[in-house]
Every structure is written in structure tokens, then in C-alpha cells.
Homo-oligomer: A and B are copies of this chain.
Amino acid sequence: MTEGTSPAPLTGVVVIDLGQIYQGPYATFLMARAGADVIKVEPLTGEPLRRRESEGVGPSFPLAFLNSNKRAVTLNLKEERGRELLRTMVERADVLLENFAPGVMDRLGVGARELMELNPRLVYASGTGFGLSGPDRDRLAMDVTIQASAGVMSITGTPEAPPMRAGPAMADFLGGVHLYGAVVTALFDRSRSGRGCLVEVAMQETVYPTLLSDLGLQYRAGGEQAPRRGNRHGAVAPYNVYATRDGHIALICTADSHWQSLLEAMGRQDLADDPRFSTTSLRAENEAATDEAVSEWAARLTREEAYEITRAHRIPSAPVRDLSEVTNDAHMHQRGMLQWVDHPTLGEVVLPNSPLRFHQLEQPDLNPSPVLGEHNKEIYGDWLGLSLQEISDLHDDGVI
């Protein structure tokens, strides 16, 4: 059922992509891999990820990661002729997406209201940290400050140490994929109403649902937040990361049957009738002793041995893998989620596919990210109909 026989789902959808860094570009990456025609519009010096390249630190891996299958043009929105070109593109486009701070596009005179008047079928998509309204609208937002304000840090790490950042850029990417969902929903709505709309996603709001386990524990505790739990669960044991001879394994027993299987796997049936361990809540009460039994066993094995034994016994477990292991994961490569690509500026690198998989529908081949302004002639010439002379003049005048 996986071979594609029908066109990719977003074929023919034209997206004007003013996205920068992570949130916006991830949303439009998902669109591009689903077949949309994504035109990445950058200032003359490039979007911030591109500008870091020119600071002499070498090619930007994040830029390559997020911009496959897009076409790239330069455009100076501080020039009226630049804004005029944007309006011309918007008249022919389905989606405009940006993740500037709130109000930036309005102040340039190309805000949602103006552009949707120009093209009532336009879906105008805004990604921000805190949203387009409310008292915190204009707060500076980056992944790490969102993690602080949204509560992530308060539930990550151990009670002895300060609140801890989650390593992944989870706020940026949760923001990006919600923005994708909002845009596609608006396109579906337009297929029936004939009208576009303004869609909006605030990173902080996309993070809130991920706190759910801890919000649930807090509700149960009458409103009090428990101390940070590190790798432990609090109400379930074993639930931890255990050191093996050559790495770590994560292992949890959410059911009593898991614990009985684990005792068998560890050759510790002598504990089967130990009253300290007979139920989940008793094991949680005796967490230190429970963890000690598992730690003793794990310390004698390699990570792979510990994982294979627990897997064979159907106990939820996983080796704690590093980035190289994940990037070279045979499973994700076999599924086509990851692939080796010979990128024009980065060389041989592993780039991702979209996590959205549509059986029976085609998917475009992965086309490496464009260089700055690579498609100026194609977009401004072939698509908008400007002459080579006009394009050359716009370039000389600092408009594109």
C-alpha cells in the first residue's frame, strides 16, 4: 500500500514562505515534502540561519535540514518595489507563512489584512512565541525562554539541581508542526468555503499540553507540584535509566506482569514473593530498593545485552542512544525517514524526510536546499513575467 500512484497531497499549492530559523521553516518543510510549491523568500543577506553561514562558521546544517524541496528568492521588503513584488506573488499564491515578531508585517504595510484583501483565497499563517494578542504578545521568544515560561524547565531535571532545559528544541518544532496543521486545515476549509483565513499559532500554547502527566499528578495531589523527578516516575517503579557496562538503558514496568517478566529476565525469581515489590505502588514506595535490584543486574551486562533480554521478555525498554546512532538508525533509513544526500554545500549528510506518510500518494524526490536567491530568475522571470533586464535592474537597485 505504500507505493505512490496518485499525486502528492499538496500538489499545486503555492506557498510564499517568509519563515526563518526553525518554527516557520519546519512548517513549510512539511508542506514541501507533501508536494507544495514552497518559495522561500529571504532578505538580501539571507534569513538568520543563512547569515550565520556568512559569519565564517561554514555551511549551516540546520538550513540544509529544513529547506529541502523549496525554491529560494531574495526580496527586500523595506523597499516599496520589494513589497510590490510580494503583493504580486500573493495574488497568485495559496498560502503566506511568516514567523516574525507580531506586528512586523503590519508595519511594513503587508500584514494579514492588506494581503487577504488583495487575495481573499489567501491563507495567512503567523507563528509567534506568545500569539498575536494578549499582554505578553511582544515578549521576546526563543526556544529556551519559552521552555522557561511554559513550565518545561520546572519538570525537567532533578530536585537537587536547578530547573533544566529539555535538550531538544521542542518549542520551536511543536510550534512549527502546529502551524502546518493550522494551514492545511484552512486549505481544507477553503475547499468548501472558497475563502482563506488568518491562522495563528503561539509556541507557548503548543507546549502546554505536553505537561499533561505532571498536570495530572498535580491535580491528584490537590494542586501541589511534586519536586522534579529526574528519570523517575514517582508512582511507578521500576521507571528509570540504568547504567550498563557500556552505556545506559531506559526501562519501565507499567504493569505487574512487566515486573514478573523482569524478575525472570534478571534471574531474580527469589524476589517474586518479596512483599516490598508485589504491586506497582509498593514498588514505588520502595523505589530505592527496586532500582537497586535492577541496577545490580544492569551493571553486569552491556547495553545491548540488557536491551535484548528485556525486549525478549516484552518489557518496555530502550537503549539510550547518542546522536550518531540515531542518525544511522537502520530502521529509519529503511523506512526512508532518513537518507544520505550529497548536498552541494555540506557534502554527504543525512537529511530527514517528513514524518507525515501518505500511502498510495506520490512524494517528490528529496531536492537539497537552495542557495540564496537561486530561483530569482525562475520566480521573477518565468512565473511573474519580468524580463531579464528588469530582474537585473531590481538586483542592481537592491530590491532582490
Contact = CB atoms under 8 A, between A and B. Distances in A.
Interface of A: 1-2, 6-7, 9-10, 22, 26, 30, 34, 57-58, 60-62, 65-66, 112-113, 130-131, 133-136, 139-142, 144-158, 161-170, 172-174, 177-178, 180-182, 184-189, 191-193, 195, 197-202, 204-216, 218-220, 223, 225, 228-231, 239, 241, 243, 248-250, 252, 254, 311, 314-327, 330-332, 334-335, 337-338, 346, 349, 352, 355-361
Contact of A195 (B6, B153, B216, B349): B6
B186 A332 contact: no
Contacts of A320: 148-149, 153-154, 163
A359 B199 contact: yes
Contact of A250 (B153, B156, B225, B319): B153
A166 B166 contact: yes
A274 B165 CA distance: 29
A296 to B, nearest CB: 16
Nearest to A178: B355
Given A149-B318, A163-B241, A355-B205, A1 B185 contact: no
23 contacts: A1-B112, A65-B209, A133-B334, A133-B335, A134-B331, A134-B332, A140-B315, A145-B252, A153-B250, A156-B167, A158-B161, A162-B241, A164-B231, A167-B229, A168-B210, A168-B211, A173-B209, A181-B181, A181-B356, A191-B191, A201-B357, A219-B349, A225-B324
A65 B212 CA distance: 8
Given A148-B250, A201-B356, A216 B314 contact: no
Nearest to A59: B219
Nearest to A241: B162
Contacts of A319: 148-149
Contacts of A134: 331-332, 334-335
A178 B61 contact: no
A174 to B, nearest CB: 7
A193 B5 CA distance: 12
B188 A181 contact: no
A140 B316 contact: yes
A212 B199 CA distance: 26
B248 A163 contact: yes
Contacts of A331: 130-131, 134-136
B323 A151 contact: yes
Contacts of A144: 239, 250, 252, 316
A256 to B, nearest CB: 12
B168 A157 contact: no
Contacts of A170: 166, 168, 170, 174, 210
B205 A337 contact: yes
Given A61-B215, A174-B177, A188-B9, A26 B209 contact: yes
A178 B207 CA distance: 14
A189 B9 contact: yes
A211 B326 contact: yes
B156 A156 contact: yes
A191 B188 contact: yes
A65 B217 CA distance: 13
A1 B250 contact: no
